[in-house]
Amino acid sequence: MRSALDIARDVRSGATTAENEMATSLAAIRARNDELNVFLFVDEEGALDAARRVDERVTRGEDVGALAGVPIALKDNLCQSGVPTTAGSKILKGWRPPYSATVVGRLLDAGAVPMGKTNMDEFAMGSSTETSAFGPTRNPLNVERVPGGSSGGSASAVAADMTPLSLGSDTGGSIRQPAALCGLVGVKPTYGLVSRYGLIAFASSLDQIGPFAKNVADAAALLEVIAGHDPMDSTSLPELAPSLLSHVNDGVAGKRVGLVRELFDGAADEVVAEVERAAEALRDAGATIVELSVPEIHLGLSAYYLIAPAEASSNLARYDGVRYGLRVDADDVAAMNEATRTAGFGAEVKRRIMLGTYALSAGYYDAYYGQALKVRTQLIDAFRRAYLEADLLLGATAPTVAFAIGEKTADPMAMYLSDVFTIPTNLAGDAAISVPFGTGEADLPIGVQLLGPGRSEAGLFAAARVLELADGRS
Ligand code: GLN
């Protein structure tokens, strides 16, 4: 599939049409969706109509936007008015939101065509897309393996050439880890850079929306479109979207890159080897490599598994069978709430709600939730110190290449460890990007991770572009 930027350029010039590009995308979905279970919903006629409207605007000579006619897949926790949205859960099956997320509006303004909703771990809780109530998604590169998660459907859509772009959400790694496992570029933007209005909340102090793409420039173009202040999200940063695409080829000359031991400790040897090779590539491009240790990174996972479930237990209280979604009738309201939640939520979501409720309960609050917040502050300080010594940090995205379907479902702790390198960024509110670099076992892709302080996206894209070139990609 051609890059999103090539498609947009050709749609604007009239060399192709949005309708034609959408037809190509829909044909690719028809060919493999039954096998891979990527999309939970595609409105073929609606997508073609929306594409034709873009073409009409081109014909009228209007400036259609940076993503003119580009088909884009949305993770199924992003609301689009009138389009079924489940967050991968039975409890929302059949729900059609009466409003659209801010990112959806921005995509439309830029000429992109949102055309379907992708499978995900239930309420974004998971690392493999296996906790979805609608069955697992398979990795298009090897159908016996997981695509990662929780945005596994959005990653697979791009990896299977069904769409050139997609959006996911990243609370603890859910964009970067599936990007790594599917050989894509995936970005967790700075907390507050992208509006979350219309994103179904998981853990509100951590959630961010971000792009998946096949290459760095496409990811930068997409983030530029969706970023920027939104009065509808109280955590939105007050500034306009940063300029990203124009910095993609800035390089890394003179930059200090911190090679952080704790960001690849315990990863498979083949992953460690690629991280080291990435450090060499950055050095060859003029960066200075500084070896760093940030021991607080090891505390990230435990703090996350108190903070994220605590916030989730509160956010998910709204699914009570009263106003929308599933309702299982019973004799009184309390019994109806219980029956609805028992039937509507899957095992992982119930585990998180119980963990979170426990961490917040009277008598345990200080020992668990309060303690986790203190650890979070320590981690934030540790990153701040690291960024005095380095402009950006380098490590692994995931400890291994894509693992087998079913391999970790019986052991939640093993599953949680998939995100040990990605979670610290979310706790710090910083930015990070995963970029494909080399391959490992079974010829599956490996992703390396570049991390930077808040608002450092332009520099991260430039470094990712250096790695993309060094790895012989576009
Ligand atoms: N895998 C992590 C979890 O299960 C992160 C998920 C995410 O980023 N949404 O919580």
Is residue 174 annotated as a catalytic residue, yes or no? Answer: yes
Q: Which pLDDT does position 408 carry in this prediction?
A: 98
Mean pLDDT of the 262-279 span: 98
Does the pLDDT of residue 155 top 90, yes or no? Answer: yes
Its CATH architecture, for the domain 4-242, is Alpha-Beta Complex (3.90)
Tell me the pLDDT tens digit for each residue of 340-352. Answer: 999 999 999 999 9
User: Position of tokens 């990243």?
Assistant: 170
**Ligand 1 contact via 126 beta carbon (within 6 Å):** yes
Whole-number pLDDT of residue 197:
98
- Express each pLDDT in 170-207 by its tens digit: 999 999 999 999 999 999 999 999 999 999 999 999 99
pLDDT at 464 over 70: yes
State percent of the chain over pLDDT 90.
99
Average pLDDT (5-10) is: 98
Residue 101 has what pLDDT? Answer: 98
Please provide the average confidence, as pLDDT, over all residues in the chain.
Answer: 98
204 is catalytic: no
Q: Which of 75, 127, 352, 413 to mutate to test the pocket of ligand 1 (most atoms within 8 A of CB)?
A: 127
Contact (CB, 8 A) for 179 and 203: no
Helix residue ranges per DSSP H, 205-346? 216-226, 269-284, 300-315, 333-344
Report the pLDDT averaged over residues 277-303: 98
The pLDDT value given to residue 116: 98
Give the whole-number percent of the chain exceeding pLDDT 70. 100
pLDDT in tens, 375-385: 999 999 999 99
Confidence of residue 1 (pLDDT cuts 50, 70, 90): confident
Cβ contact 220:209 at 8 Å: no
| Residue 473: band (very low, low, confident or very high) from pLDDT cuts 50, 70, 90 | confident
Tell me, yes or no, if 474 is annotated catalytic: no
Compute, in angstroms, the gap from residue 126 CA to the centroid of ligand 1: 5
Calculate mean pLDDT across residues 300-321.
98
Tokens of 263: 């960001």
Give the position, in ligand 1's atom list, of the atom nearest the Cα of 149: 1
Q: For 115-129, what is the mean pLDDT?
A: 98
Going from the Cα of 269 to the center of ligand 1, the distance in angstroms, rounded, reads 24
**Ligand 1 atom nearest 175 alpha carbon:** 8
pLDDT of 474 reads: 64
Distance 312 CA to ligand 1 centre (A): 11
Vertex 169: Cα angle to 164 and 175 (nearest 5) = 65
Best mutation site among 119, 150, 304, 408 for ligand 1, i.e. most ligand atoms within 8 A of its Cβ? Answer: 150
Task: Kindly report the protein residue whose alpha carbon is nearest to atom 5 of ligand 1.
Answer: 172
Give the integer Cα–Cα distance in Å for 395 and 473: 20
Q: Among the options 174, 236, 418, 434, which is catalytic?
A: 174
Tell the residue nearest (CA) to atom 10 of ligand 1: 125
| Model confidence at 208: pLDDT above 80 | yes
Average pLDDT over residues 87-107: 97
pLDDT at 93 exceeding the cut of 90: yes
pTM exceeds 0.85, yes or no? yes
CA-419 nearest atom, ligand 1: 1
Catalytic residue among 3, 25, 100, 150: 150
Q: Do the Cβ atoms of 84 and 103 come closer than 8 Å?
A: no
pLDDT at res. 188 = 99
Judge if the beta carbon of residue 468 lies within 6 A of ligand 1. Answer: no
Rounded mean pLDDT, 93-119: 97
CA–CA distance, 65 with 80 (Å, rounded to integer): 20
Residue 428 contacts residue 304 (beta carbons within 8 Å): no
Q: Kindly state the average pLDDT of the residues 392-421.
A: 97
The domain limits of the chain are 4-242, 256-296+377-470, 302-367
